[in-house]
């Protein structure tokens, strides 16, 4: 049996990427709401996370982003989306916005599954 452990508090924490979240709502939000959402992320995310969102900062290990940061961000942006629809958000990430750990873990899972088939 192989036991793997993700570095971040919850899977939604892998969506927390300042540039990506702003790009995602750019066409879904009015300019006033967009600027408020941008200000919100600037206030909520530590400077180190804003500079390098792909690194596994302590911040990502502590916060439940799906309960606070992400819903508040979308609420401020004026974009209505439920937690069960966050996969739609994730599907819009560019390869260079996805933390390396995600690819590594998914490759590990694939290798395990291939050995069993």
**Residue 67 included in any domain:** yes
**Residue 50 included in any domain:** yes
Q: Residue 16 and residue 32: Cα distance in Å, rounded?
A: 21
* pLDDT bucket at 2, cuts 50 / 70 / 90: confident
Domain that holds residue 45: 11-116
Interval 57-79 mean pLDDT? 97
Interval 35-49 mean pLDDT? 97
Buried b (16+ CB within 10 A) or exposed e, 58-91: ebbeebebbeebbbebbebbebebeeeebeebbe
**Residue 5 included in any domain:** no
Please give the tally of structural domains in the chain.
1
Residue 4: what pLDDT? 82
**Residue 100 included in any domain:** yes
Residue 3: what pLDDT? 83
């Amino acid at each position: 049996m192989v036991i793997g452990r993700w570095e971040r508090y919850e899977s939604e924490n892998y969506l927390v990427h300042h540039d990506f979240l702003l790009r995602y709502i750019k066409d879904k939000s009015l300019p006033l709401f967009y600027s408020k959402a941008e200000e919100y992320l600037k206030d909520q995310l530590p400077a180190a996370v804003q500079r390098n969102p792909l690194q596994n900062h302590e911040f990502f290990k502590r916060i439940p982003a799906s309960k606070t940061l992400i819903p508040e961000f979308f609420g401020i942006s004026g974009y209505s989306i439920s937690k069960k629809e966050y996969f739609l958000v994730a599907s819009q990430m560019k390869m260079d916005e996805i933390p390396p750990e995600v690819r590594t873990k998914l490759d590990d899972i694939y290798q395990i599954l291939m050995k069993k088939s």
